[in-house]
Structure 1
């Protein structure tokens, strides 16, 4: 392992509940939808614009309208989550040890820069991250491998030498499509939801897990 690529939401911070509530508020209360919480959760992958199309169909919104809705959703999420903003247990130590070992690190996320900056600067961890690939940097979202392939290219590391940390099946699938192994944080989805994938090395609740710790010893 020469490089680590982290997904962000649900992987470095345990915030997916807050994203779910923000989307549920926008989709149902602002836009007149009638979606269950489970429907919202299952569609929370990829870019915000893609989620809106999945939920309401092609052509319902203009690009400008989706931009505005996307930013409003993230503002509501950040306002609600800010008091709880913290890294998953053990991650601060993991980042420090990986950094000291010379392991390159990147973020490969479907989040917009507005949200990535919220975490990197809010938690003062930008110093550990050499590369950021956001929703704005790719044309096709996970499970397409573009996010992780681009991160590996920017790090100048072959895909097979990168390890991905993820929390959702579509993200782990994107890692598989990029020829990368993955470790899954079980903050958001159950283990059996990943059963169709063969690139997963380990499941853990957080970074205090002994297997994860062993990666940077």
Structure 2
């Protein structure tokens, strides 16, 4: 294992409940009610990919750009007075890996602005050598672009990198990149289908470097 690449939303930052709530409000404004479970398939997508799908699924009268603008206005208003919260155990794990000298990256479908806001609010920017946003990639998760870009920036081969993901689209993207992927099942969230992951973890604070290493061969160039 030469590097660890983290997804951000749902792995480091407890942001997914606000994402769901803001999209639900946007759809209600259009007279549409859907179960929260509908949104699980959207986790890991960039804003444009996500709203393109929603717009098509419900034949919304708004353009994709208008959906993005309104959806983001709702989300920003919802989180305006809320502190950025970390997922329990995430910062402990990040610090453990950093202290062991393992290069770290974030590869997130969130915008560069949201990534910067989160890492600065949590005080974890110094731990990461690389921050990659899906908005800088041609294709969104479940395509592997964001993870391949992170590995390239870290200077490691994809097959030597470990990804930690909580969303089915992210797991698919990591495996498409040829990387080892651990699926994080947050007990506070509804379970997603992470069966394609190489392993499942439920408490980030308990994940050890030795456990991470076991998914790799003894020797890596």
- TM-score, length basis structure 1: 0.85
Aligned to 1:148: 147
Q: Secondary structure at the match of 1:194?
A: coil
Q: Which moved more, 1:178-187 or 1:37-46?
A: 37-46
Aligned to 1:170: 169
Q: Which moved more, 1:1-10 or 1:110-119?
A: 110-119
Shift of 1:67: 4.5
Shift of 1:78: 2.6
Q: Which moved more, 1:151-160 or 1:40-49?
A: 40-49
In structure 2, do the counterparts of structure 1 residues 182 and 26 end up closer, same or farther at CA, with 3 Å as the change threshold? same
Give the superposed CA RMSD.
2.4
Shift of 1:66: 4.4
Shift of 1:172: 0.5
1: CA distance between counterparts of 2:34 and 2:74? 16
- The total of aligned residue pairs comes to 209
4+ long deviations beyond 6 Å: none
Unaligned segments of structure 2, at least 5 residues:
214-221
1: CA distance between counterparts of 2:93 and 2:37? 32
Shift of 1:92: 2.1
Deviation string, structure 1 residues 1-41 (Cα, Å, up to 9, x no partner)? 11111000011123212211111112222x44333322233
1: CA distance between counterparts of 2:74 and 2:92? 31
Q: Secondary structure at the match of 1:35?
A: coil
Aligned to 1:76: 77
Q: Secondary structure at the match of 2:199?
A: strand
Aligned to 1:65: 66
Q: Work out whether residues 22 and 76 of structure 1, in 8 Å CA contact, stay in contact via their aligned partners in 2.
A: no
2: CA distance between counterparts of 1:144 and 1:214? 27
Aligned to 1:27: 27
Unaligned segments of structure 1, at least 5 residues:
none
Deviation string, structure 1 residues 139-193 (Cα, Å, up to 9, x no partner)? 10011000100000011100011000000111001011000011111124536x1
Q: Secondary structure at the match of 2:106?
A: strand
Aligned to 2:183: 184
Q: Secondary structure at the match of 2:80?
A: helix
Shift of 1:59: 9.1
Q: How does 1:1-217 map to 2 (within 5 A)?
A: 1-29=1-29, 31-57=30-56, 61-62=62-63, 64-79=65-80, 82-83=82-83, 85-187=84-186, 188-190=189-191, 193-195=193-195, 197=196, 200-211=197-208, 214-215=211-212
Q: Secondary structure at the match of 1:208?
A: helix
- TM-score, length basis structure 2: 0.83
Deviation string, structure 1 residues 62-119 (Cα, Å, up to 9, x no partner)? 4642452353144135336x24x33222222222221122111111111012221221
In structure 2, do the counterparts of structure 1 residues 65 and 115 end up closer, same or farther at CA, with 3 Å as the change threshold? same
